[in-house]
Amino acid sequence: MSSAVMGMILPALLIIIAIIAALVWRGRQFGRLARHGVPVTGTVVRKMRQGGAQRIAFTYRGPDGHEYRRAATIALGKWVELAEGGPIPIICLPDHPQTSAPAWLIEDARRALKLQP
């Protein structure tokens, strides 16, 4: 294989590996959140659209008393339901409260893993 072809394939391969690694990492987080997460109530700080996706930024106070700010890409139906300044149910890890996700996403993970809510 020529070095020009390798020069084109290698960067693409590295990008694919990075994407897979990120998906595995987030999947493990969702598994931990599904098994050990605790509910907290957050506040929607901002709703935005980026590249055809609906995103929200939210804050919440973790079990440790600290405030955290995160963002998530969500389905249009949920995006429409939420209002800036309004509440949002969040699940976070009690031992690592900066790890969180909207509660309905974790409920989906719990159903997929056949866990009790």
In order along the chain (117 residues), what is the average pLDDT of each group of 10 residues?
69 76 72 93 95 94 96 92 97 95 90 71
Q: Domain spans of the chain?
A: 3-112
How far apart CA 11 and CA 109 sit, in angstroms, is 33
Per-residue confidence (pLDDT) for residue 97, from 0 to 100: 96
Residue type, 116: Q
Looking at residue 43, its pLDDT comes to 98
Pairing between strand 87-93 and 96-102? antiparallel
Indicate whether this model's pTM tops 0.85. Answer: no
Name the packing angle between helices 103-112 and 3-36 (round to 10°).
90
